[in-house]
Amino acid sequence: MILDDYEVSNVIQIQINSWLIMIENYLPILIVFILAAGFVFVSLILSHFVGPRIDNKVKMMPYESGVDPVGETRIRFSIRFFLIALLFIIFDIEIVFLYPWAVVFKDFLTMGSFIFFEMVVFLFILAFGFVYVWKNGALEWE
Partner 1 sequence: MDSLTNYLFVSASLFCLGLYGVITRRNAVAVLMGVELILNSANINFVAFARFSGMNMAGHVYALFVIVLAAAEAAVALAIIINIFNNFKTINVDDVSQLRQ
Partner 2 sequence: MSNLNSLSYFWPELILTGTVLVAIVADLFYRKEDSFKVAWWVLGGLTLTMAAIRMGGSAVTDLFMGTIALDPFAEFFKVLILLSTVLVILISFKTDELKNYSVGEYFSILAIMAFGLFLMASAIDILMVYLSIEIVSIMSFFLAGYLKKSQLSNEAALKYVLYGAFSSGIMLFGFSILFGLTGSTKFFEIRQALAGLENGANLALIISAVFILAGFGYKISAVPFHFWTPDVYEGSPTTITAYLSIAPKAAGFAMLIRFFNQVMGDGTAMINDSWSALGGLPWPQLMGVLAVATMSLGNLVAIQQNSVKRMLAYSSIAHAGYMMMGLPVMSNQGIYGIMMYLVMYLFMNLGAFFVVIYIQGKTGGESYEDFNGLGWTMPFIGVVMALFMFALTGLPPTAGFIGKFYLFAAVIEAGPQFYWLAFFGALNSVISLYYYVRVVKHMYLRGERSDDVSMPSSNLVTVLLVFLAVPSLVLGVYWEPVANWINQSLVLLSSGM
Interface stretch with partner 2, choices 26-34, 69-77, 95-103, 124-132 (CB under 8 A): 124-132
**Dihedral sign, CA of 61, 62, 65, 69?**
negative
Interface stretch with partner 1, choices 36-44, 65-73, 95-103, 109-117 (CB under 8 A): 95-103
Contact (Cβ atoms closer than 8 angstroms) between residue 95 and residue 122: no
Q: Which of 63, 135, 141, 142 binds partner 2 (CB under 8 A)?
A: 135
Q: Which of 46, 86, 102, 125 binds partner 1 (CB under 8 A)?
A: 86
Rounded Cα gap, residues 92 and 114, in angstroms: 24
Name which of residues 89 to 118 contact partner 2 (CB under 8 A). 114, 118
Rounded Cα gap, residues 110 and 91, in angstroms: 30
58 forms part of the interface with partner 1 (CB under 8 A) = no
Binding mask 16-35 for partner 1 (x = CB under 8 A): ---x--x-------------
Query: In whole angstroms, how far apart are CA 76 and each of 73, 79, 81, 83?
Result: 10, 9, 12, 15
82 forms part of the interface with partner 1 (CB under 8 A) = yes
Q: Hey, what long-range contacts does 69-75 have (CB within 8 A, 24 or more apart)?
A: none
Under the rule (CB under 8 A), what is the footprint of partner 2?
Answer: 114, 118, 125, 128-129, 131-132, 135-136
